[in-house]
Structure 1
């Protein structure tokens, strides 16, 4: 059961770095394991919160080639699932850099918040409430939202755990419609990374209050 690391931003335009130039094939594309038919759903599922993401970041989260991810992103923009915009940042040397990012529409985030309503001031609960989850029905999405909550609660109460330890402790009572624990972890893992206070380090997950 593998742990995926966060991707590096892919910038384009003024003052781009060598690591941020092309969205086409590269060594980073080797080892991707998503079938072509699954790329659009995998790309959609990479957007678990309000954070904008670059092609490179989505490619890592979706475990798919960047050129295929770029096509999937445009498909999702065309159908209204995502929004696309250009941003400009300034690095430490004062060089302006432009990047194209994709993000969930505000209406989608409001809908997610309504589905997983939480008390004001609960940063963890709010982050989970705003996450996008796969599922054809609200009930299925809520099951998967509850699975992430259960993992966070496990880390809070029982301390650090490996991926295997989390699956052993939480998957059974919170399988969330998944028959396979690996598929369940593929859903939980990227969302767990977006929960405030959750840290992944040296093969272990822990919650820091």
Structure 2
């Protein structure tokens, strides 16, 4: 058998996938297969975990996280951190407008975010503006925050097409500095403060 030969191990049950002679999966899982896990639930209100997707698709939790991350980046699903290290995903309810302005946020903040210099155009730029506003909202809810807090609590849900957390931060933090009520640290690695008011 050659090294690229595929061994059939499917038995017709869901989740079984073709493997090569080394036991590695021979196929790639498109993110849409992870989406099918959401649609197969009996209770549509129950969020999905990476473990649910991994079990249904017969893949690793890391692969499930990656597929769910792709769906999140596309805006197909939303995610939220629960507990210290867990995350859940769900499909937004139709009519649940992610674009609706936060009534607690002033027009001055929204306007400043719209005028902020962020890379990208079109939908990518809009996602990056939403990521900036999410960072602002996080700081207003947590009036003292470090870079690590933003990367841990804001970045995963608002990746805005950035491939890395560092790339995201390098684009978001200069714009965040310019928003009303934000007191950036004087030196790198120190604490960001929210002063309130707009």
TM-score between both structures, scaled by the size of structure 2: 0.43
Report which of the two structures shows the higher radius of gyration computed on alpha carbons. Answer: 2
Larger helix share, 1 or 2:
1
TM-score by length of 1: 0.41
Q: Which has the higher contact order (CA 8 A, sep 6+)?
A: 1
